[in-house]
Amino acid sequence: MPRLMTYLIMLIAFSAMPLTSHAYATSKMRVETVVITTASGEYSFEAEIADTPKHKSQGLMRRPLMDADRGMLFDNGVDREMFMWMKNTILALDMIFITKDGTVAIIAKNTVPFSETIIPSGQPVRGVLEVIAGTADRIGLKAGDKVKHAMFR
């Protein structure tokens, strides 16, 4: 009987939570607009900015949901090759590696949840925008497209 009561309490608690990515933010990160321009148009995303060691190491780990117009932007602060992975990440993601002038360098599509395989940028980049898997195909994103945000000059 105590186990049943525990399950009922958990069910009630989870059903009261809003089903958006906002409910799963692990800490207070600032959120800023990132605009991607492709051949098919401009697409805006509200991205949490991962620019501290704590935020960068946590990333989108353990988040069960993320809205299609949300993301996380990792800011290197300098140009360098980046290495990402999906350890403890529930969601499949598209990782968009971006150079200092806002040019899309490489896109790692549909990354594998929980994988510890290293995903390299292959060249120096300023940052990485993580969005829900399938986004790059949905908006027609290609290497060479442009990303607008204050960190890209």
52: number of CA atoms within 13 Å, CB side? 7
* Domains, in order of start, for the chain: 20-148 (2.60.120.1140)
Give me the chain's average pLDDT, please.
85
Residue with tokens 């529930």: 90
pLDDT at residue 18, rounded to an integer: 36
pLDDT at residue 25, rounded to an integer: 46
Q: Is the pLDDT of residue 4 over 60?
A: no
Cross-strand bridge partners of residue 95? 108, 130
Backbone angles phi, psi at 56, to 5 degrees: -65, -40
pLDDT at residue 29, rounded to an integer: 85
Which is more confident, 137 or 61? 137
Q: Is the pLDDT of residue 22 over 50?
A: no
Tokens of 74: 């990792």
pLDDT digit string, tens, across residues 71-89: 999 999 999 999 999 999 9
Instruction: Please return the burial class of 26, using the count of CB atoms within 10 Å of its CB with bins 0-12, 13-18 and 19+.
Output: middle
Handedness of CA 107, 70, 82, 124 (dihedral sign): positive
pLDDT at residue 11, rounded to an integer: 34
pLDDT digit string, tens, across residues 113-152: 999 999 999 999 999 999 999 999 999 999 999 999 999 9
pTM score, whole prediction = 0.81
